[in-house]
């Protein structure tokens, strides 16, 4: 999630209907009769990409009951079975990082360290390929979807860009596999609602959105994973990730008809920012995805407050408007725990594949995470699983309270 562009992304959805162009159409899979059946494996966990970076550069010591403890082990001991990590492309420094450490926690080398920690704690991993350069100068990122710096010169050539996506995905993932680190799920792209790896120009100057172009690029990443599955006899599942359930029907119709290849439909959902649209419940969402497209469904991002306020100088976002009626407000750790337990339970009962939290580890500190005008710190510390003293709190126990049968 890139915070400064979330509002732009949401606005962009509203214009998509008038912008997209399609040149080929494949039929939607024939609907099957779907009866909700809980998945054999229900994933519960958190995004954990910033742990080592915060420990190294922010003087963060993750604790449990006041005693230092490995953060990955802590979530595993409280019901998690998966950790989400994310790979991004260079550069990892810009004028915004002056005076701070490079934000290279998304480099393949740093992510490998975190994958090993997750594996040591008994956790599976979900690996997101973001394909973005995290630290760009403002003139290198004129729109929220810009291709990484090394690929900007070929961003107008979809065939060269496909090759870059394929080679990058395959090289990183094959190195991990040969190191004994095999992700359970690979997500091709992050919150790819519409545009993906675009030329570096103002959004108003971009050509009309092409579904075909996006499908080609996403499928290049998928093909890299499929080829490695075949080569090594693996079964890494492939997710496509977008946000806002109210847009899900349109997104799937547009992209699946144009040949998008994936196994899992993954969604971000934040109560204050998104809605269910024409869906009546999460059971309805899961049923639609499985019945109409024969795909699994996963919540890849969500969050809830455990308190108000912050403990660093960074701007805070996603306030108490994120708390639905019926949950403690002002929030407590119980607000977070009950909201996530209820959300996860409905998904499990409906046959969903899992629910993964976003920013459970993003505590407040003097660490620079996003190289932007807001500087060091966290906009999420009142939604993390560790309190302002970096001590694990009761909100994390939602994972243990989902009843699986």
Specify the pTM. Answer: 0.93
Residue 306 lies in a domain: yes
Residue pair 268/300 in contact (Cβ under 8 Å)? The answer is yes
Q: Under a CB-based contact definition with an 8 Å cutoff, are residues 53 and 92 in contact?
A: no
Quote the tokens at residue 36: 């909700």
Q: Check whether 384 has a pLDDT greater than 60.
A: yes
pLDDT over threshold 90, residue 288: yes
**7: buried, middle or exposed (CB in 10 Å: 19+, 13-18, 0-12)?**
exposed
Q: Looking at residue 14, what is its pLDDT?
A: 42
Question: Model confidence at 201, in pLDDT bands (50, 70, 90)?
Answer: very high
Q: How far is the C-alpha of 296 from the C-alpha of 353, rounded, in Å?
A: 6
Bridge pairing between strands 185-188 and 237-243 = parallel
Residue 282 backbone dihedrals phi, psi, to 5 degrees? -70, -30
Per-residue pLDDT tens digits for 122-181? 999 999 999 999 999 999 999 999 999 999 999 999 999 999 999 999 999 999 999 999
The pLDDT of residue 29 is 54
Residue 10 confidence (pLDDT) above 60: no
Query: What is the pLDDT, as a whole number, of residue 1?
Result: 54
Would 247 be classed as within a structural domain?
yes
Q: Is residue 25 part of a domain?
A: no
| pLDDT band, residue 5 (cuts 50/70/90) | very low
Q: For 327-367, what is each residue's pLDDT tens digit?
A: 999 999 999 999 999 999 999 999 999 999 999 999 999 99
Give the model's confidence band at 405: pLDDT under 50 very low, under 70 low, under 90 confident, else very high: confident
Q: Which helix (H) or strand (E) holds 71?
A: helix 71-77
Q: Examine the pLDDT at 24 and tell me if it is beyond 90.
A: no
Which domain range does residue 245 map to? 43-401
Q: What's the domain count of the chain?
A: 1
CATH code for the domain in which residue 288 is found = 3.20.20.80
- Residue 34: its pLDDT value, please? 62
Distance in angstroms (rounded) separating the CA atoms of residues 266 and 248: 10
Above 80 in pLDDT, residue 253?
yes
Separation between Cα atoms, residue 271 and residue 261, nearest integer Å = 29
Q: How much is the pLDDT for 38?
A: 75
pLDDT value of position 307: 98
Among 225, 321, 333, CA closest to 275: 321
Residue 250 included in any domain = yes
Q: Would residue 9 count as lying in a domain?
A: no
What pLDDT is recorded for position 22?
43
Is cis: bond before 310, omega within 30 of 0? no
Is 399 a residue whose pLDDT tops 60?
yes
What is the structure's pLDDT at 11?
41
pLDDT at 202: 97
3-state secondary structure of 62: coil
Closest CA to 129 of 13, 220, 52, 235: 220
Q: Does 37 map to a domain?
A: no
Q: How far apart are CA 303 and CA 356, in angstroms?
A: 9
CA distance 196 to 145: 5
User: DSSP class of residue 147?
Assistant: P
Predicted local distance difference test score (pLDDT) of residue 30: 52
DSSP single-letter state for residue 311: S
What residue has token string 């002002």? 330
């Amino acid at each position: 999630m890139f915070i400064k562009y979330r509002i732009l992304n949401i606005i962009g959805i509203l214009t998509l209907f008038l912008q997209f162009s399609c040149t080929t159409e494949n039929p939607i899979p024939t609907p099957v009769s779907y009866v909700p059946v809980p998945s054999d494996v229900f994933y519960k966990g958190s995004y954990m990409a910033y742990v080592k970076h915060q420990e190294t550069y922010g003087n963060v010591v993750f604790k449990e009951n006041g005693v230092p403890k490995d953060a990955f082990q802590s979530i595993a001991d409280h019901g998690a079975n998966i950790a989400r990590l994310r790979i991004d492309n260079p550069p990892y420094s810009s004028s915004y990082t002056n005076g701070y450490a490079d934000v290279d926690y998304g480099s393949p080398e740093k992510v490998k360290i975190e994958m090993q920690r997750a594996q040591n704690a008994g956790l599976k991993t979900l690996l997101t390929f973001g394909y973005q350069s995290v630290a760009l100068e403002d003139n290198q990122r004129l729109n929220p979807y810009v291709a990484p710096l090394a690929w900007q010169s070929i961003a107008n050539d979809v065939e060269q860009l496909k090759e870059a996506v394929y080679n990058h995905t395959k090289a990183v993932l094959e190195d991990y596999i040969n190191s004994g680190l095999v992700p359970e799920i690979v997500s091709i792209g992050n919150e790819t609602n519409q545009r993906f790896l675009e030329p570096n120009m103002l959004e108003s100057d971009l050509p009309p959105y092409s579904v075909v172009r996006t499908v080609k690029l996403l499928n290049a990443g998928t093909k890299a994973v499929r080829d490695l599955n075949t080569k090594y006899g693996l079964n890494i599942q492939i997710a496509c990730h977008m946000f806002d359930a109210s847009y899900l029907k349109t997104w799937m119709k547009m992209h699946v008809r144009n040949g998008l290849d994936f196994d899992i439909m993954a969604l971000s959902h934040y109560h204050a920012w998104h809605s269910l649209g024409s869906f009546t419940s999460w059971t309805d969402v899961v049923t639609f995805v499985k019945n109409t497209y024969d795909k699994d469904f996963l919540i890849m991002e969500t969050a809830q407050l455990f308190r108000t306020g912050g403990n660093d100088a960074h701007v805070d976002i996603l306030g108490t408007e994120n708390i639905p009626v019926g949950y403690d407000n002002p929030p407590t750790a119980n607000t977070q725990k009950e909201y996530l337990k209820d959300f996860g339970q409905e998904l499990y009962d409906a046959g969903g594949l899992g629910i993964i939290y976003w920013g459970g580890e993003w505590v407040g500190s003097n660490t620079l995470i996003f190289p932007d005008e807001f500087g060091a710190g966290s906009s999420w510390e009142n939604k993390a699983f560790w309190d302002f003293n970096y001590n694990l709190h009761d909100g994390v126990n939602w994972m243990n309270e989902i009843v699986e049968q």
